[in-house]
Amino acid sequence: MVDWKDKVILVTGGTGSFGRKFIEIMLNEFHPAKLIVYSRDEQKQHEMRQMGFQHENLRYFIGDIRDLERLRRAFQGVDFVVHAAALKQVPACEYNPMEAVKTNILGSSNVIDAALDANVKRVIALSTDKAVNPINLYGATKLAAEKLFVQSNAYAGGRETRYACVRYGNVVGSRGSVVPVFLRQRKTGKITITDERMTRFWISLEQGVRFVIRCLEEMYGGEVFVPKIPSMKVIDLARAVAPEAEIEIIGIRPGEKLHEVLISEDEARTVIELDDMYVVQPAAALWFGREWESKGEPIDDDFRYVSNTNSDWLNVDDIQKFIAPFENPTER
């Protein structure tokens, strides 16, 4: 177990939805020696301060993950890094492909290099279900970032620096997610969805943060951690947000999947199942990260963790409980 009170933690993309919730929970419950918000937008950092994110152990660093020298300076004296910075909007990445590559792939490479140079102990990166069998550029860049984080453990040599990833599904109410879109559409009396068969994995922001904290505590290096989370039908989400609204089917968009995959059958050979998560172990060539074989059970070689064949489902009532914090009752 980690003694957080003497740890210095840096979060890239620290002003985003995940970063704010991570900082809130760390300050309120774990009390680290120092917590650093690393992001490129001074306005969002100012807004965070205005929201009450002011603490004697909290620091705000302006910087872009594309800037290796700034990362090297920011990482000095840091014990743990949570890498949450990314370009994540699928249409934006499709229209600005090189920008997605520069941030999600080259920026991740910079985080890896800077952490190694600064002797950071543990680095964990946030990935996505869209990185599995990707069909859009966002997913492809996140897959490349995953591979970089797993295989870069080979660079550690005799150093303590270790890299791992967490991979989970859609985060309820996060910036750019479908919930705020549906809440806006509700005012018009019409909700648009792309396909009535569509399913998605779902996790709350707090669940995601607590999962990342747990993985930081338990990682050996080289793993991809996947939580066991429920699925939901997008059409049920629309009914939960606006039960009386008309639902219009507009057709699936380029780069969009009907169902999301968190573990593919090609990964199954190295996956260990625990009570509440799966661990995708690294290739046997790495010197660590396979300690999970003694902590859980292997899965069948043909196993796939897919949103439409999941055993855990949310119904309309369950979804309404998830989205309650984002509701404004006066809008109904």
Q: What is the DSSP letter of 105?
A: I
Structure tokens at 300: 């069948």
Question: 21, 130, 142, 233: which is the annotated catalytic residue?
Answer: 130
**With 0-12 CB in 10 A as exposed, 13-18 as middle and 19+ as buried, what is 324?**
exposed
Q: Rounded distance, CA 252 to CA 320, Å?
A: 25
Q: What is the DSSP letter of 30?
A: I
CA atoms within 13 A on the CB side of 283: 10
Q: Rounded distance, CA 266 to CA 280, Å?
A: 11
Cα 136 vs. chain centroid, distance in angstroms? 17
Task: Please report which helix (H) or strand (E) contains residue 13, including its range.
Answer: none
Grouping H, G, I as helix, E, B as strand and the rest as coil, residue 63 is coil
Alpha-carbon Rg for the chain in angstroms: 20
| Residue for token pair 């290096």 | 221
- Closest of 241, 92, 108 to residue 176, by C-alpha: 92
Task: Check if 102 is active-site.
Answer: no
Q: Which residues are identified as catalytic? A: 130
